[in-house]
Amino acid sequence: MEGVEALLAEARVFLDAHATRTPADAAFVWGQGSDGVSMFEEGSLEEQLAVVAREQAWAAVRFDAGFGWIDGPVELGGRGLTRAHRQAYAELERQYDVPMGACLTIGIWMVAPAITRHGAPELQRTYLPGLHRGDVLACQLFSEPGAGSDLASLTTRAVRDGDDWIVTGQKVWTSNAHVADVGMLLCRSDPDAPKHRGITCLLVDMHAPGVEVRPIRQMTGGAGFNEVFLTEVRVPDAHRLGDVGGGWSAALTTLGNERTAGSSGLGLAAGPGPFARLVELVRRYGDPTDATTRQRLAEIYAHERITTWTLDRGTAALRAGQAPGPEMSIVKLRSARKHRAVADLASGVLGARVVADTGEWGTFAWQQFVCGVPGARLGGGTDEVQRTIVGERVLGLPKEPANP
């Protein structure tokens, strides 16, 4: 098998030919460049579509060069190498100025693993190459207005009709739904079975008749989340993941990978530059000699270091071929605390500047971050869900009583 260093040598040639390396020691300078500070990339629909187009174009170039699905099977367009090879390439690519690929995250890191583990061979051939090349964009049709953290309480119904399912219901807080080609849907196929056992997982064509996507305007001003209404949508049984009534297993596969993909530290404190921005903000608009402020900065830095080290442990486990473990829930909890601490400190330092645009560089831009923090605490599982996972799987506490 090709070694990691041989792959990286080839990858450097490819990346040098197609992208610009980002300086590793680029220092933050107040007043230079964009002052944007946000939890999520948001913009108008036209701006979002332009970003999606760039990310898809880069994904196609990368896939065609043999770096799009490094640990995937050769017969499906992969390279047939290991997770360690894939992780090594990902770390190298982060040193270059290339599109982030946010629109591909759900498809590659959450939906594709579920298709790989629970999908029939024909379904894998249909979707997996396109998901990794960027030809197919995906979303998760999980949460509902009456079933958020208690996901298994979902009520979207799927009724068997010959070789098809007829699906009716509503999903909410669906990222990517407005650009997705396929949705991974959890629906109730047996209302009389215990709630975790009456769920079936289907792959839904997001362009099919009966699928309606409505954007949700958030307090950040963006509309990256959506409501999805399904009205007698016909889905072939061949597009089922796992057994009838066994959709909860597919959901757990996806949720485990979601925490892996989404816990790497969104937003501000993801490196020395962003943290330097916060320190400089305190110097300019706060009191850097105040003991309480200095303590809060130290706590934010500690949160970041602990998050990084814990994530490194999880990454090492993934490289070794292990499934995502409870350490990703610890990362998610720690990241949530860090983001809230950053938002609280920035808001306290800026005062009215965080809600009123005075035109001063590096001030009003923080409102995007502050308003985005609550959503980041919910995405990928609430704090309460993560604490339950840690309590049961790390501390060995008794499992929560199962609801009927």
The pLDDT of residue 261 is 55
Angle subtended at Cα 178 by Cα 149 and Cα 136, rounded to the nearest 5 degrees: 100
The pLDDT of residue 324 is 62
Please, are residues 85 and 70 in contact by the beta-carbon 8 Å criterion? yes
Identify whether 210 is part of a domain: yes
Please indicate, yes or no, whether residues 150 and 126 belong to a single structural domain of this protein: no
Please indicate, yes or no, whether residues 150 and 124 belong to a single structural domain of this protein: no
The pLDDT of residue 323 is 64
Please indicate, yes or no, whether residues 179 and 116 belong to a single structural domain of this protein: no
Identify whether 83 is part of a domain: yes
Please indicate, yes or no, whether residues 281 and 382 belong to a single structural domain of this protein: yes
Q: Which of 78, 102, 136 is the last residue of a domain?
A: 136
The domain total for the chain is 3
The pLDDT of residue 308 is 82
Identify whether 251 is part of a domain: no
Identify whether 204 is part of a domain: yes
Per-10-residue mean pLDDT for the chain, 404 residues long? Answer: 91 97 77 82 81 96 97 95 89 91 91 95 97 97 85 94 98 93 97 93 98 89 87 98 95 74 38 73 95 95 86 72 71 86 94 93 91 79 81 86 58
Identify whether 382 is part of a domain: yes
The pLDDT of residue 22 is 83
The pLDDT of residue 376 is 76
φ, ψ for residue 96 (rounded to 5)?
-120, 155
| Residue carrying the six token digits 């629909």 | 45
Please indicate, yes or no, whether residues 116 and 190 belong to a single structural domain of this protein: no
φ, ψ for residue 377 (rounded to 5)?
-75, -20
Please indicate, yes or no, whether residues 213 and 327 belong to a single structural domain of this protein: no
The pLDDT of residue 265 is 33
Can you give the chain as a three-state secondary structure string?
CCCHHHHHHHHHHHHHHHCEECCCCCCCCCCCCCCCCCCCCCCCHHHHHHHHHHHHHHHHHHHHCCCCCCCCCHHHCCCCCCHHHHHHHHHHHCCEECCCCHHHHHHHHHHHHHHHHHCCHHHHHHHHHHHHHCCCCEEEECCECCECCCHHHCCCEEEEECCEEEEEEEECCCCCCCCCCEEEEEEECCCCCCCCCCEEEEEEECCCCCEEEEEECCCCCCCCEEEEEEEEEEEEHHHEECCCCEHHHHHHHHHHHHHHHHCCCCCCCCCHHHHHHHHHHHHHHCCCCCHHHHHHHHHHHHHHHHHHHHHHHHHHHHHCCCCCCCHHHHHHHHHHHHHHHHHHHHHHHHHHHHCCCCCCCCCCCHHHHHHHHHHHHHCCCCHHHHHHHHHHHCCCCCCCCCCC
Please indicate, yes or no, whether residues 131 and 143 belong to a single structural domain of this protein: no
Q: Which of 119, 136, 153 is the last residue of a domain?
A: 136
Identify whether 346 is part of a domain: yes
CATH number for the domain that contains residue 353 = 1.20.140.10
Question: Which of 258, 299, 304, 400 is flagged as catalytic?
Answer: 258
Q: Which of 109, 136, 163 is the last residue of a domain?
A: 136
Please indicate, yes or no, whether residues 204 and 310 belong to a single structural domain of this protein: no
Please indicate, yes or no, whether residues 150 and 180 belong to a single structural domain of this protein: yes
The pLDDT of residue 24 is 65
CATH number for the domain that contains residue 182 = 2.40.110.10
Please indicate, yes or no, whether residues 291 and 377 belong to a single structural domain of this protein: yes
The pLDDT of residue 222 is 76
Identify whether 25 is part of a domain: no
Please indicate, yes or no, whether residues 129 and 66 belong to a single structural domain of this protein: yes
The pLDDT of residue 230 is 98
- The verdict on whether 258 is a catalytic residue reads yes
Identify whether 218 is part of a domain: yes
The pLDDT of residue 372 is 86
CATH number for the domain that contains residue 100 = 1.10.540.10
Domain that residue 118 falls in: 41-136
Please indicate, yes or no, whether residues 143 and 222 belong to a single structural domain of this protein: yes
